[in-house]
Amino acid sequence: MTDLSERAPDRLPDLATVETPWGAFLAVEDDGVQRIRNIRYARADRFAPAEPVVPDPASSADLQFTTIACPQPPSPSAAVLGEPLQGARFDEDCLRLTVTRPAGAEGPLPVLVWIHGGAHVSNAGDLAGFDASAIAREHGVIVVAPTFRLGLLGFLGDAAAGDGAAGRPANLGLLDVVTALRWVREHVAGFGGDPEQVTVFGQSSGADALVHVLAADGADGLITRVILQSAPFGIRTDRDEMYGKMRAAVGEIAADATTDEIGAVQLVAKQAGSGFGLRSGMSFGPEYARAPLPAEAAVEAAWKRRAPGLEVLVTWTTEETMFYLGTVPKLERLFRVPVIGAIARRVLVGATTRSVYSREGRRFAKLMAGAGASVQVGVFDGRPDGSPLGAAHAIELPLLFPNEEAWSRAALLAPHGAATLAPAGAALRSAWVEFARTGRIGEKRIPVGAGWRGGLTLEEIS
């Protein structure tokens, strides 16, 4: 899709119709790409499991210029990412997805399903910064991006596992993702996609969600090819005490509580979950021994059962935690001190990146390969020339989703990385689609360029 900054201020994209077995869907069409936005894939009452629905053109007809997100408090990462939710409409009726496809697509085309990150508390699938138009246009694929419940609306159940008590179930957001993946399998052919060639890719908590789908009951066959970008494997375990304190802080939630009141309670829960080290950076998340997940000790066995025939790419960046540490004023000043600053940055960022991402990510890759999966690992050191944050967490996202206007406000891309996203990320987008078509990336080094340096280094895991 042509960047909004390149259009006349008064020109909106055209609307087109896409014929499907369920009727004609309205779509935003621009520069050879159609985006059918906000298709409802399920319904859910508050704190109730999602109920899948069949595609309905009426569910999205008047929402083609609207970004819908699960209600959420302001994110401390918003400035780093360029205020990605600016202009979004927050609505609990958020179980919707966007289909991005080449205009006039004649299927069946390979399908990529994008699961967004945001610590399980922020973002949405249909943000401008996740606009998949470039991938669809350049490579003739379909991209599906679901939005799902987050924070207290999607996680942190209140009833003890297995006691049959009424209340707030755990893992609703994870179950939403499962429901969306099942929707793709059952319905994407009607939009020109190939349900037998589906690749799921997620970043950060989105990758964490996919890791847990791979362990979930009732999810057999939903993932056969997956890209896990910066999954926080190192903080997924030993969370029960933190969740207990958060649950106690929340207490009972009134049936008529407003979304603002729930947001306020969520902040109370987050504060109660502080003090648990790096785990507190993602205080909300999937809970083990609560449906659909096994007990924590049984997760690796569940992964091994799913591994045969699975095709997996596990990636992380070389300076993941600069995303967080580089915006702490005291550390930012320390990192700028000659000689000592560079050493401190290398030690602190290296240790925390290994602890949260790379060490356990590599162990997961080896476990899955040993159980019969085809696995590659990719280490990404790409960053804009002169970037103060370097190859930080999420740095590859603007290269995969190169909407210049959306990313131009992001401190992550300073000073000038947003200006060349389309050419800089062309090889990376090609590599992701190569994996989506074949289950592996053939080259061992995928460079970035055009005002950027570095790239992705790959290795086979056996």
Alpha carbon 130 to its chain centroid, in Å, reads 9
**Which one is catalytic: 59, 122, 133, 204?**
204
Alpha helices, H only, 222-276:
240-250, 259-272
From the CB of residue 438, how many other CB atoms can be counted at a distance below 10 Å? 13
Specify the pairing of strand 89-90 against strand 23-30: unpaired
Please check whether residue 82 is in contact with residue 407, taking contact to mean a CB–CB distance below 8 angstroms: yes
Spatial separation of the C-alpha atoms in residues 121 and 119, rounded to whole Å: 5
Spatial separation of the C-alpha atoms in residues 223 and 310, rounded to whole Å: 8
Which has the closest alpha carbon to 95: 204, 177, 35?
177
For residue 443, indicate whether it is catalytic: no
For residue 408, indicate whether it is catalytic: no
DSSP state of 351: H
Which has the closest alpha carbon to 321: 234, 263, 201, 408?
234
Q: Tokens representing 233?
A: 């494997």
**Which one is catalytic: 29, 287, 311, 320?**
320
- Please give the full DSSP string across 356-421, using - where no structure is assigned: IIIHHHHHHHHHHHHTT-EEEEEEE--EETT-SS-S-TTTTHHHHS--HHHHTT-GGGTTTGGGGH
Please check whether residue 207 is in contact with residue 333, taking contact to mean a CB–CB distance below 8 angstroms: no
Q: Tokens representing 211?
A: 């890791």
CA angle at 136 for the pair 30 and 373, rounded to the nearest 5°:
160
**Which one is catalytic: 59, 393, 396, 404?**
393
The residue ranges of DSSP E strands in 168-249, in sequence order, are 193-203, 225-229
Spatial separation of the C-alpha atoms in residues 268 and 254, rounded to whole Å: 15
For residue 320, indicate whether it is catalytic: yes
Looking up tokens 């785990």, which residue turns up?
279
Secondary structure element (H or E) that encloses residue 436, with its range? helix 426-438
**Catalytic positions, please?**
204, 320, 393
